[in-house]
Every structure is written in C-alpha cells, then in structure tokens.
Amino acid sequence: MKYDLHSHTTASDGELSPNALIARAIAADIDVLAITDHDTLAAYREIDASVLGTLRLVTGTELSTQWQKNNVHIVGLNVPLDCSVFADAIASQQRSRIERASIIADKLAKKGFPDILPGVLEKAGKGSIGRPHFAQQLVEIGAVKSLAEAFKKYLGTGKVGDVKQIWPQLDEVVGWIRDAGGTAVLAHPDKYHLTRSKLHRLTDDFIAAGGEAIEVVSGKQDKVRTRELAKLCIEKKLLASCGSDFHQPGKFWAELGQHSPLPEECTPVWEHW
C-alpha cells in the first residue's frame, strides 16, 4: 500500500485543483491520500466522488500554531467534515489569514502596488489566502517575472511582505483535533531548524497536548534525517506518518507520492485507524 498523507491543492497554496490532485495520485499508484490544505477543509467540498476509483481519501488539514517563538504546523488526519466546533476553529484561522493579508497589502501599497488585495482574494477563492497568492498577483501585474522573484524581492523572509502571524498555541490546536476525533500529527519537524534539544522539547509539549504522531518522512528529506526522526518517533512512543508535502508539479517540491517509505521499525499512523 502506498500512502501520501500530506498534500496541497488550490484550496490553499497548491497549484492543482482537488480533482486534478486526485487524478495525479491515481496515476502515481497511490492507495491512500490525505489532502491537507492550510487551515481549511474546503478541498473536500469540491471533490467529485466519481473520480476516486479505488483511491481511499483521508480527510485532513494542516493547521498553523505557535510554539514558543516558532510557527509550527500540525496536521489533523481523519478530522470530521461536519463538526461545528472544529469548523468554527478553522473559521477563526481563516479570519486571521485575511487580517494578515490586509497588512501585507498595505505594506505593498507603500512600495508602489496599490489595490493589490482584490486580485489576491480572487486568486485565493474560497481557500486559504497566503503569500503565494500575493506572488501570483505580482506576476500578473508585471511587478515581477516569476513567483521566485516575488518572494526574493517582496515576500520572503525579512522582506516587506513577510508579516509574522501570531497563531493559536500548539496545545490549543492539538486540542481542536483531538476533540473532533482526529489524529494530531507534528508536520515536517525538520523544517523548523530546531536544535536537537529544542526538537525534543517541542515533541514533549506536543505529546502533553495530546499529539499522537510525527511525520518521520516528509518530501525530499534525506535518509540521515529520516533515521534520526525515526529514532525520535520510537523514543517518544509516537505513531509515524509520511507525505510528500506536494504543492505543484515540476518545481522544487517533492512529487506526489515520491517520498521515501516509512522505516520498518516505526508504527504507521494508519494502523490505528
């Protein structure tokens, strides 16, 4: 069985529509797929059930949280689509994203790009608005030639559009997932660039909040790091998850389903579903 439990669509910052992502997953011989768009479940409302075939779809979302001074992402797997309390929590995340987008737009206006927000909102549609939508709009109006240039000049770390968002605390977000009956997964721990001791503290706090699993394999992660995360996973008695963190074809992101398999010594998260 081939699992990819971390992927994105146009409902957040991915390039493919939900149905196109499903078609790509089927072409890649993926058996179980989770669409985990940022702070939204909107993708699931767009899916045409007739395109699924034998593919098993696991509901999911990638929620933004705050841990100490770090932005940390928690994937919620097997979360319900009809839980009003969880829906309200996600709605609060969306409001925070829109507030942040307004601040980014104001800052870009002072750099000579007025009235950029309407086009950005149009590109985000009903999904989660983020800096990639600003990058797309900057390309469209001719301010830059590519998405990469948009981030390099205006949206990347330390640039004018790099507006820090204060998200809910990690324990609160894990609680949302747990209370809704889902499984909380610590997403791509290698991306936070934490020291070994800080990663252990993060993991301990995650477990204390009710977290159950960690992404031992994420995207193009190297084998050495995978072994280290597998060791951490076992030491902390966590379940293991894996995913490509796919965003778009042919870019620096990992291709859908092309991540390494989980190390055999880890207990897969799906064994507890």
How far from each other are the two terminal CA atoms of the chain, in whole angstroms? 15
Contact yes or no for 16/247 (Cβ under 8 A):
no
Instruction: Report the CATH superfamily, name and number, of domain 3-83+183-272.
Output: Metal-dependent hydrolases (3.20.20.140)
C-alpha dihedral over 217, 219, 222, 227, to 10 degrees? 0
Confidence label for 251 from pLDDT (cuts 50, 70 and 90): low
Positive/negative CA dihedral, 130, 13, 47, 39:
negative
Q: What are phi and psi of 52, to 5 degrees?
A: -70, -35
Domain boundaries, the chain: 3-83+183-272
Crossing angle of the two packed helices 170-179 and 84-109, in degrees rounded to 10: 140
Residue 252 has pLDDT above 80, yes or no: no
Percent of the chain with pLDDT over 70: 99
Q: Give this prediction's pTM.
A: 0.91
Q: What gap in Å lies between CA 254 and CA 243, rounded to an integer?
A: 9
Percent of the chain with pLDDT over 90: 90
Question: DSSP letter string over 83-102?
Answer: -HHHHHHHHHHHHHHHHHHH
Q: Which residue has the higher pLDDT, 249 or 244?
A: 244
Here the tokens at position 16 are 């493919």
Q: Look at the block and give the residue holding tokens 């998850």.
A: 241
Neighbours of 207 (CB within 10 A): 17
Confidence label for 271 from pLDDT (cuts 50, 70 and 90): very high
Q: Which pLDDT does position 166 carry in this prediction?
A: 86
CA 169, 156, 63 angle in degrees (round to 5)? 25
Q: What gap in Å lies between CA 45 and CA 47, rounded to an integer?
A: 6
Neighbours of 256 (CB within 10 A): 23
Taking CA atoms, 183 is separated from 22, 78, 173, 239, 250, in Å, by 22, 6, 12, 10, 31
Taking CA atoms, 263 is separated from 1, 12, 153, 223, in Å, by 14, 30, 40, 10
Across the range 177-194, mean pLDDT stands at 97
Beta bridge partners of 74: 63, 186
Tens digit of each residue's pLDDT (9 = 90 or more) over 6-41 = 999 999 999 999 999 999 999 999 999 999 999 999
Q: Which pLDDT does position 127 carry in this prediction?
A: 79
Residues 6+ apart with CB under 8 A from 258: 28, 244
Q: What gap in Å lies between CA 198 and CA 1, rounded to an integer?
A: 34
